[in-house]
Amino acid sequence: MTARLIDGKALSDTVKSDVSKRVLSLKEQGIVPGLAVVLVGEDPASQVYVRNKAAACDKAGLHSRVIRLASDTTEGELLDVVHELNADTTIHGILVQLPLPAHMDASLVIEAISADKDVDGFHISNAGLLMTGQPLFRPCTPYGIMKMLEAENVSLRGAEAVIVGASNIVGKPMAMLLLAAGATVTLCNSKTRDLGAQTRRADVLVVATGKPGIVTGDMIKPGAVVIDVGINRSADGRLVGDVDFESAKAVAAAITPVPGGVGPMTIAMLLVNTVEAAERGPAERGAA
């Protein structure tokens, strides 16, 4: 068997063209959805992510504002920027690019973002809303994965879903979304005793650890759907995922490639969240 490739790039283009239509109809009502991206310091990967996010906004007709701050910016100065964006009516979504420099407390900064502009979905009240089944913003990476599973007609009701990696930005919200869709969810972390015993039960396997090749073909149930979130730079400079692609594709029914799988969907869902925030409008702000 050779697994079907799940084309995140193609699906992200479809999602983005739907976003463009929603932007046009907002513009007819005099609203231009706006996203502010704050970048502190010169981390090269973050610079690329921020550039890509701003370019995707511009292409879809959203207004984007990138605020670049020096790496020695104080936490107080960053909080002032966030407060100013909270009050800016032309901005519907605010994203502070992580990681922040070590002298800053990332959770304090994220909590300062107005929850109704938190398009990353990382604010503690958005995490709580997601956990209790009333999501305001779904974190972009798991949200994009749900869209991919939907587009692939993967049946989640009663399915065994195993997630490897339990971070606040990927693994945990992924678990909540899969659970809400009716899957039986197992969430693994670095202390999981026999990882293969867990992953081999999965009808849907999501891997998000940042450890290249942590999941190999022998750890996958034949016919499973495998979603590889990892983005790692291999010794020869290529981008690789967390799943050993060659051995996995011989066993799985469908698999996401890296690059071209989850990554493009993450950016597309950021646009979706920003448009949703603009559509919600100021009247509903604070209602959640």
Q: Looking at beta carbons only, is 31 or 175 nearer to ligand NDP?
A: 175
- By CB under 6 A, name the one of 16, 68, 200, 211 that touches ligand NDP: 211
Decide: is 165 part of the binding site for ligand NDP (CB under 6 A).
yes
Q: What is the DSSP letter of 210?
A: S
The verdict on whether residue 67 carries a ligand-binding annotation is no
- By CB under 6 A, name the one of 164, 174, 185, 243 that touches ligand NDP: 164
Identity (one letter) of the amino acid at 269? M
The values of phi and psi at residue 279, to 5°, are: -65, -35
Decide: is 171 part of the binding site for ligand NDP (CB under 6 A).
yes
# chain residues binding ligand NDP, by CB under 6 A? 26
Phi-psi region of 8 (alpha: psi -120 to 50; beta: other; left: phi over 0): alpha
Q: What is the DSSP letter of 97?
A: P
Q: Which window, 87-95, 125-133, 145-153, 159-167, contacts ligand NDP (CB under 6 A)?
A: 159-167
**Contact of 38 with 69, CB cutoff 8 Å:** yes
105 is catalytic: no
Decide: is 139 part of the binding site for ligand NDP (CB under 6 A).
no
27 is catalytic: no
Closest residue to ligand NDP, judged by C-beta, is 167
Decide: is 230 part of the binding site for ligand NDP (CB under 6 A).
yes
120 is catalytic: yes
Q: What is the DSSP letter of 161?
A: E
The values of phi and psi at residue 161, to 5°, are: -110, 125
Strands (E), 147-273: 160-164, 184-188, 204-207, 225-228, 232-233, 239-240, 254-255
- Distance between CA atoms of residues 19 and 25, nearest Å: 10
- By CB under 6 A, name the one of 12, 73, 141, 273 that touches ligand NDP: 141
DSSP character string of 7-47: -HHHHHHHHHHHHHHHHHHHHHTT---EEEEEEES--HHHH
Decide: is 231 part of the binding site for ligand NDP (CB under 6 A).
yes
Q: Which residues are catalytic?
A: 53, 97, 120
Q: Annotated binding site for NADP(+), which residues?
A: 165-167, 231
Query: Could you list the residues that contact ligand NDP (CB under 6 A)?
Result: 141, 164-167, 169-171, 188-192, 195, 208-211, 214, 229-232, 262-263, 266
